[in-house]
Structure 1
Amino acid sequence: MIKRSAAVSALLAAATCVALLPLANPASAGPWDGVRSWETATVKRVVDGDTLIVNDEVTGAESRIRLLGINSPEITTSAHAGQCGGAQARKIMKSLVPVGTRVRLAAVDQASKGKSARPQRVVLAWNPATGEFDQDLAWAMAERGLGVWFTVAKEAAMSSLYREAIAGAQARGVGIWNPNLCRQALQPDAVLSLRIGRTPVGGGVA
């Protein structure tokens, strides 16, 4: 089951349209303060464990979305070899958001982008059981041990919440933290692998 945080619940319960929606109560400070829902879209394709191709429900525009909060192992492509756990991460992501799944895309800054100008977003999947966008994909991947922590500077406070799920997966030895996953003697270290991307002038981060 995909975990839903209290902060996400507050945003989604109040969300009744695609308009910009402030997440937090101004009277209470928290890591999700300032997070807004920028777009609602439909999944067209799962690229890998942290990247989706989606179509905006309003404009129909296609976007390549990079999940905030985690960095999943790479899959094998014509350009590079895959990493341990890459195939498993993509398989799990496909099971979480099959083609046609509706998703809501949230971030502190609508302009948050990474490599190849990919919008970087918290991706919340539609849950038919609750009638809400309450399934946090980055958290789901993190608690399955299929990603290390990743964010960009403007999104770091909110994205820090995913470290809890990553640490839990590491403690349980699941996913990439399982030494038997790819018969690797050493697994990535959750502390050493933390990445905070800072967008340079005229460029983006992965």
Structure 2
Amino acid sequence: MTTHRSHRRPLGMLATVTAAAMLLMGCNPYSTGPMTVKDPAAFLEAAPCESTGTAAVPSALASNVGGPYLVESVVDGDTIRISCNGTSTRVRLVGVNTPETVKEDSPVECGGPEASDYLHFRLDGGQVFLSTDPARGERDQYDRLLAYVWNADGALVNQSIVELGHGDAPGYGKDYAYKDTFDVAADNAEAEGLGMWACP
């Protein structure tokens, strides 16, 4: 993974003015809570897995969120495992790319262990809620379920990873529901030198 983001527009006057306007209207553009003007969750679909957990659905979550699901394990900073219809399934967090720690024939990248530790801290032994994004498809080329992941408190974990600088939001040339939100969060984290953005 590269930490050069020349492909991303710089955090300029328009983004700053937009963020300020959202704050004045009572919307936090960096919040992991629900958006009040345009809700990206409206474009999502519930994960195609039977529930395996018992946690109550947080009131802030939309009806198109599936779960709860018991977290079997954290693989790295942007991948977890859950049981999906009786099969142990890798879930790749949509819109997030963290530095590598377990990729075969690849070195551990700067910021990778911290990203992995963060996801362990947030999700180990916990329960999650998942939605897929029709704009990205249900599975990737490695047969991983592509999903947005909310923890039992209703926080969108994908977004918090980007906000704290533990991962980028590259998009890989594809649109997705939270793209604008994640782009702003990534630009802000890079500007502040958070997480992996402090790497040389």
Compute the TM-score of the two structures, normalised by the length of structure 2: 0.66
For residues 40-72 of structure 1, the C-alpha deviation after alignment (integer angstroms, 9 at most, x for no partner) is 22111111110001123xx33321000012100
Distance of 1:30 and 1:90 partners within structure 2: 28
2:51 matches 1:51: no
Say if 2:78 and 2:92, in contact at 8 Å, map to a contact too.
yes
1:201 is matched with none
Q: Secondary structure at the match of 1:95?
A: helix
- Equivalent position of 1:115 in the other structure: 141
Question: What is the root-mean-square deviation in Å for CA atoms of aligned residues?
Answer: 2.5
Give the superposition deviation at 1:37: 2.4
Q: Answer yes or no: is 1:42 the counterpart of 2:77.
A: no
| Alignment of 1:177 onto 2:186 | no
Q: Which residue of 2 aligns with 1:148?
A: 168
Out of 34, 39, 45, the residue aligned to residue 6 of structure 1 is: 34
Secondary structure class of the residue paired with 2:155 = strand
Q: 1:93 aligns with which of 99, 102, 119?
A: 119
Gaps of 5+ in 1: 11-27, 128-133, 185-206
SS at match of 1:103: strand
Same amino acid, percent of matched pairs: 23
Q: Which runs of 5+ in 2 are unaligned?
A: 1-29, 48-65
Q: Which TM-score applies when normalising by structure 1?
A: 0.64
How far apart are residue 31 of structure 1 and its match? 3.7
Alpha-carbon contact 2:99-2:111 (below 8 Å) kept: yes
**TM-superposed deviation, 1:34:** 2.0
Q: Check conservation: 1:42, 1:55, Cα contact below 8 A.
A: yes
Structure with the larger strand share: 1
CA distance in 2 between counterparts of 1:154 and 1:32 reads: 17
How far does residue 158 in structure 1 lie from its aligned partner after superposition?
A: 2.8
The one of the two structures with greater contact order (alpha-carbon pairs below 8 A, sep at least 6) is 2
How far 1:155 moved relative to its partner? Answer: 5.0
C-alpha deviations, 1:80-129, integer Å up to 9, x for none? 21111111110011001012x111111232942223111110111112xx
8 Å CA contact 1:103–1:125 kept in 2: the answer is yes
Give the total of aligned pairs: 151
